[in-house]
Amino acid sequence: MVASRQYVHIRLCVLIGLGAVLLPTLAAESARGLFQAKPTGPAAPPVAATPPVVVPSHPGELSDTNLVFVGRWDRGDPMAAHSYWGGAYVRAKFTGTTIAFRGRVATGGETLLVSIDGEPPRETKSLDRKDLALGVHTLLIGSPGQNSEIEFRGITLSPGAATLRCRPGR
Prediction pTM value? 0.64
Say if residue 93's pLDDT is above 60. Answer: yes
69-70-74-79 Cα dihedral, nearest 10 degrees: -20
Say if residue 32's pLDDT is above 80. Answer: no
Per-residue pLDDT at 145: 80
If you average pLDDT over each of 28-32, 63-67, 163-167, which comes out highest? 63-67
Query: Mean pLDDT, to the nearest integer, of 42-51?
Result: 55
Whole-angstrom distance, CA of residue 45 vs CA of residue 41: 12
Question: In angstroms, what CA-CA distances link 110 with 86, 92, 124, 134, 147?
Answer: 15, 22, 8, 30, 12
Per-residue pLDDT at 15: 36
Highest CATH level, class, for 68-164: mainly beta
CA-based nearest residue to 166, from 130, 135, 140: 140
Whole-angstrom distance, CA of residue 91 vs CA of residue 166: 8
Give the residue extent of every domain in the chain: 1-33, 68-164
Say if residue 129's pLDDT is above 50. Answer: yes
Give me the chain's average pLDDT, please.
Answer: 75
**Where does the chain have alpha helices with state H?**
2-31
Query: Mean pLDDT, to the nearest integer, of 105-129?
Result: 89
Per-residue pLDDT at 20: 40
Structural contact between residues 137 and 119, judged by C-beta atoms closer than 8 angstroms: no
Say if residue 120's pLDDT is above 90. Answer: yes
Least trusted range by pLDDT, from 6-20, 98-112, 139-153: 6-20
Per-residue pLDDT at 132: 95
Say if residue 150's pLDDT is above 60. Answer: yes
pLDDT-above-70 percentage for the chain: 64
Per-residue pLDDT at 26: 32
Per-residue pLDDT at 84: 83
Looking at per-residue pLDDT, the higher value among 23 and 77 belongs to: 77
